[in-house]
Amino acid sequence: MTLLRAVLSPVPPTERSPLVALLLHGFGSHEHDLVGLAGWLPPRLPWASLRAPLEIGYGGAAWFPLSPDGAMDQASIDAATDAVWAWVDARLGEEARIVPLGFSQGGLMALQLLRTRPARVVAPVVLAGFVPPGAQAADAALAKSRPPVFWGRGDADPVIWPDAIARTRAFLAVHASAETRVYPGLGHSITEDELDDARTFLAAHLPG
């Protein structure tokens, strides 16, 4: 498998890094898009911003195809999840622990990583993200452990379908100790207030 492309922090993550943040962009974007969010990460936390595997033209990429009716191809989501874990295992080691921060489709991927290898995922941050229909491998374990998750979204988001929001709310209520923030007037975007809240969340839940 060809490893995903990535932009790395000025002090790159290595196999000796206790934790590594993964920045996961949204549909049609690229690995440079979320680099500016690194300033809200805890000091000295190394990071990698990954490029999604599906090339869609004009320099953009996606984690999985979009459907006009909101349907999602679970096989494509599984393949993207495997690609992220392949990058992590190859570059950071098979015991590496990650802090995923994702926007939109990238937010779905942050939760997918938690739902597949929860012992290796710490305090995921989901910005305008959602979950796909259907159970995942580690959901039963998550219902017992209830790990911390930050979920931020705007109440004026025209992109994420209402059923995806309802599905995500229901999932987090059972499978996580979720800190949910809804930002009045915010569309499909990210605000500094949201990033400040995410920074406070990470400071409270990351070790050390």
pLDDT tens, position by position, 12-61: 999 999 999 999 999 999 999 999 999 999 999 999 999 999 999 999 99
At 5 the three-state DSSP class reads coil
Distance from C-alpha of 172 to C-alpha of 160, rounded to nearest angstrom? 17
Distance from C-alpha of 102 to C-alpha of 33, rounded to nearest angstrom? 11
**CA-based nearest residue to 147, from 112, 172, 127, 182:** 172
For residue 182, the number of C-alpha atoms closer than 13 Å in the C-beta half-sphere is 6
For residue 173, the number of C-alpha atoms closer than 13 Å in the C-beta half-sphere is 6
At 205 the three-state DSSP class reads helix
| pTM of the complete model | 0.97
Ordered per-residue pLDDT tens for the chain, 208 residues: 689 999 999 999 999 999 999 999 999 999 999 999 999 999 999 999 999 999 999 999 999 998 877 778 999 999 999 999 999 999 999 999 999 999 999 999 999 999 999 999 999 999 999 999 999 999 999 999 999 999 999 999 999 999 999 999 999 999 999 999 999 999 999 999 999 999 999 999 999 7
Q: Are strands 20-24 and 6-8 parallel, antiparallel or unpaired?
A: unpaired
What the block records as the tokens of 196 is 């400040």
Pick the CATH number of 6-205 from 3.10.50.30, 3.40.50.1820, 3.40.50.150, 3.20.20.100: 3.40.50.1820
| Burial (Cβ within 10 Å: 0-12, 13-18, ≥19) of residue 99 | buried
